[in-house]
Amino acid sequence: FAPAPAYGSPADLAAFVDRAHGVGLAVLLDVVYNHFGPAGAYAAAASGRFFSDRHASPWGRGINLDGPDARHVRRFFIDNALQWVLDYRFDGLRLDATHALHDDSDVHFLASLSDAVHEAVSDREVILVAEDHRNLRTIVEPRTRGGWGLDAVWADDFHHIVRRLVAGDDEGYFRDYRGDVDELAQTIRTGWLYEGQPSLHHGTPRGSSAAGLELARAVVCLQNHDQVGNRALGDRLHHVVDLATWRALSVLLLVVPETPLLFMGQEWAASSPFQYFTDHEPELGRLVSEGRREEFGPFRAFADPELRLAIPDPQDVATFERSKLRWDEIDRPLHAGTLALYRRLLRLRKELAAGGPAGTTGAGRVAAVDAASLWLRRRTIEGGELAIVVRLKGEGRVSPPLGASVGTGWIPVLDTEDAAYASDPQPAAMGDGVVEFARPGAVIWRRPSRT
Contact 106, 70 (CB under 8 A): no
Quick one: which of 392, 381, 386, 448 has its CA closest to 416? 392
Quick one: which of 334, 328, 88, 127 has its CA closest to 217? 127
Contact 105, 66 (CB under 8 A): yes
Distance CA 76, CA 183 (A): 42
Contact 412, 430 (CB under 8 A): yes
Q: What 3-state class would DSSP assign to 112?
A: helix
How many other β-carbons are positioned within 10 Å of the β-carbon of residue 51? 18
Quick one: which of 286, 445, 300, 279 has its CA closest to 378? 445
What is the 8-class DSSP label of residue 231? S
Contact 386, 435 (CB under 8 A): no
Q: Select which of 131, 141, 214, 417 is catalytic.
A: 131
Distance CA 78, CA 115 (A): 10
Annotation says 115 is catalytic: no
Give all strands (DSSP E) within 243-325, no chain letters: 259-261
Contact 184, 144 (CB under 8 A): no
How many other β-carbons are positioned within 10 Å of the β-carbon of residue 404? 11
Q: Select which of 96, 235, 295, 351 is catalytic.
A: 96
Q: Which residue type is seen at 192?
A: W
Distance CA 241, CA 236 (A): 9
Annotation says 96 is catalytic: yes
- Positions annotated as catalytic residues are 96, 131
